[in-house]
Amino acid sequence: MNDPISARITPAGSSAIAVIRISGFKALEIVAGYFDNPDKLLKARSHSIVFGTFKDETGIPLDEVLISVFRAPHSYTGEDVAEINCHGNPLIAERILGVLLLKSRLANPGEFTLRAYLNSKLDLSRAEAVNDLIQAGSSKASMAALMQVKGYLSRHLESLLDELADARLRCELAIDFADQDLPQIDTNDLRRRILEIRQRACALYEEGSHARKLREGIRICLAGAPNAGKSSLFNAFLKQNRAIVTPQPGTTRDYLEESFSLEGYPVVLLDTAGIRESQDSIEREGIKRSLELMHGADIILYLYEEDAPDFPEELGNLQDKVIFAASKADMRPLAKLPQGHIPVSALSPDGLKLISKSILERMQMPDNILERPMVTNARHLAALQRSIAALDMALGALDMDAGFEFVASDLIQASSALEDILGVVPTEDLLGRIFENFCIGK
Ligand SMILES: Nc1nc2c(ncn2[C@@H]2O[C@H](COP(=O)(O)OP(=O)(O)OP(=O)(O)O)[C@@H](O)[C@H]2O)c(=O)[nH]1
Ligand SMILES: [Mg+2]
């Protein structure tokens, strides 16, 4: 399945240069057919660059180009690859791609990375991280993805798999030698080993659930009574007049949602309708949505203008994720604030800093993500959860003296869940779902 595929790998539109990649069987020969110096290209060493003129199928010159040559297996995909760097006029790039498509087909989204994976250039978690890296909405998110691309997570999982294989081997030895007069295996030692693996898997899971926010963004809902200053704060965070602000209570009705980067962390900020009893059916619908958004948020930033917040009683179960902020701090005495409440003013950047600090503390965002393997992907987290459940079964079987066959079989389940993350035996369906999220050209 190494038929030649091509795609533009730089974004659409004008730019200084555009790059078109072709990968697969006879990729270099195909390009040479449209190049004014085919011999030079065909003889070029891997990782070298050849300069020349790219012509269309009738021999008309299209552009002067630089062609980067990568020979299998030393390329991104593991196949022969040529990357044609042309001038960044979209018409030229399209013409060059059009000519290549006479002898190749357009790459599907993620297909270059899929081939890299199939040719063992990347394991599945690293391949997925390539997509995260491209789509990361903030500096911390891209750092976390880069760490995965570099294989931090893979190496960590591989060491867990080694430990699991070791424990399983002990069970299998115990099964094989059960009827012989050999010393029994040390059950306590086996339990200790499985517990330790479980502990490491749990730590990865717990940290990952937080770190998942690095991919998806921390959802912060601005809430409070009408006129509390929600929209003003929304605009202050975004540094633009996105939401309408007026002195009139009940200004915001439909909610607004915007993403931005909070000290490098991705945040999805929601501005909502102020909560009050209202006769107006439009405002009532807006308030209903505010309440729903509060339920779905990671953090509720509850603004209030009075001496104490008028936090709706029916939302008592959401208290844990609420940060209370006394708004319009430029207009009120600050001494009287209840414990843990933060003064904030849409007019002062200092107020925003305090709030930001409090949000990140509340989310317990890991700060040394550069040094740790991190699971930030929902598919990976689900697999980790399956692995932990299987380890629990193994421990249960061991405690009940159910027989080492059962323990071994649970350990196999635990391993295969981890192998799902690395894509050791992936199904076509899974691969399809993962790579369809990529953009064409990756
Ligand atoms: N001095 C001062 N005025 C503020 C501040 N924040 C908001 N205001 C004023 O308070 C009024 C209401 O602000 P909004 O941001 O529209 O309040 P809101 O909570 O979005 O109101 P609704 O959408 O009606 O629920 C406006 O006149 C703002 O100029 C602040 O930090 N300091
Ligand atoms: Mg508003």
Q: Domains in the chain, start-ordered, CATH in brackets? A: 5-122 (3.30.1360.120), 130-212+377-423 (1.20.120.430), 217-363 (3.40.50.300)
**Preceding omega of 349 cis (within 30 degrees of 0):** no
- Closest ligand, as measured to the CA of 275: 1
**In DSSP terms, which residues pair with 55 in a beta bridge?**
61
Measured CA to CA in angstroms, residue 244 lies from 71, 85, 247, 270, 290 at distances of 57, 46, 10, 14, 17
- Residue 17 near residue 71, CB atoms below 8 Å: no
**Residue 247 CB neighbours (<10 A):** 6
Q: What is the pLDDT of residue 219?
A: 92
Atom of ligand 1 nearest to the CA of 225: 25
The low-confidence residues of the chain, meaning pLDDT below 70, are: 1, 177-184, 211, 365-374, 376, 425-427, 429-430, 433-434, 440
- Closest ligand, as measured to the CA of 251: 1
Angle between helices 404-422 and 378-399 (to 10 degrees): 170
Which amino acid appears at position 106 of this protein? L
- 363, two tokens: 């989310």
Sole residue written with tokens 């603004």: 303
The response to whether residue 347 sits with its C-beta less than 6 Å from ligand 1 reads yes
**Residue 237 CB neighbours (<10 A):** 22
Q: What is the pLDDT of residue 300?
A: 95
User: Which residues have CB atoms below 5 A from the ion given as ligand 2?
Assistant: 230-231, 251-252
Pairing of strands 218-224, 265-271: parallel
- Residue 278 near residue 297, CB atoms below 8 Å: no
With helix as H, strand as E and coil as C, how does the chain read? Answer: CCCCEEEECCCCCCCCEEEEEEECCCHHHHHHCCECCHHHHHHCCCCEEEEEEEECCCCCEEEEEEEEEECCCCCCCCCCEEEEEEECCHHHHHHHHHHHCCCCEECCCCHHHHHHHHCCCCCHHHHHHHHHHHHCCCHHHHHHHHHHHCCHHHHHHHHHHHHHHHHHHHHHHHHHCCCCCCCCCCHHHHHHHHHHHHHHHHHHHHHHHHHHHHHHCEEEEEEECCCCCHHHHHHHHHCCCCCCCCCCCCCCCCCEEEEEEECCEEEEEEECCCCCCCCCHHHHHHHHHHHHHHHHCCEEEEEECCCCCCCCHHHHHHHHHEEEEECCHHHCCCCCCCCCCEECCCCCHHHHHHHHHHHHHHHCCCCCHHHCCCCCCHHHHHHHHHHHHHHHHHHHHHHCCCCHHHHHHHHHHHHHHHHHHHCCCCCHHHHHHHHCCCCCCC
Q: What is the pLDDT of residue 425?
A: 64
The alpha carbon of 194 and the centre of ligand 2 are apart by a number of angstroms equal to 54
Planar angle of CA 82, 121, 151, nearest 5 degrees:
125
Q: For a pocket test of ligand 1, which of 231, 232, 276, 330 has the largest count of ligand atoms closer than 8 A to its C-beta? A: 232
The alpha carbon of 294 and the centre of ligand 2 are apart by a number of angstroms equal to 15
The response to whether residue 228 sits with its C-beta less than 6 Å from ligand 1 reads yes
Q: What is the pLDDT of residue 229?
A: 95
The response to whether residue 345 sits with its C-beta less than 6 Å from ligand 1 reads yes
- The Cα–Cα gap between 199 and 205 comes to 10
Q: What is the pLDDT of residue 79?
A: 96
The average confidence (pLDDT) of the chain is 87
- 317, two tokens: 């179960």
The response to whether residue 223 sits with its C-beta less than 6 Å from ligand 1 reads no
Q: What is the pLDDT of residue 21?
A: 97
Measured CA to CA in angstroms, residue 298 lies from 22, 54, 62, 198, 360 at distances of 43, 53, 53, 27, 11
The alpha carbon of 245 and the centre of ligand 2 are apart by a number of angstroms equal to 6
Residues 20-39 pLDDT 10s: 999 999 999 999 999 999 99
Q: What is the pLDDT of residue 114?
A: 85
The response to whether residue 235 sits with its C-beta less than 6 Å from ligand 1 reads no
The response to whether residue 278 sits with its C-beta less than 6 Å from ligand 1 reads no
Nearest to 303 by CA among 273, 333, 331, 344: 344
- 141, two tokens: 């998110």
- 381, two tokens: 């987290």
The alpha carbon of 15 and the centre of ligand 1 are apart by a number of angstroms equal to 42
- The Cα–Cα gap between 381 and 149 comes to 17
The response to whether residue 107 sits with its C-beta less than 6 Å from ligand 1 reads no
Q: What is the pLDDT of residue 156?
A: 86
Planar angle of CA 160, 161, 163, nearest 5 degrees:
65
- For the question of whether the overall pTM of this predicted structure is more than 0.75, the answer is no
Q: What is the pLDDT of residue 354?
A: 86
Residue 231 CB burial class (10 angstroms; 0-12, 13-18, ≥19): buried
- The Cα–Cα gap between 441 and 130 comes to 12
Q: What is the pLDDT of residue 369?
A: 54
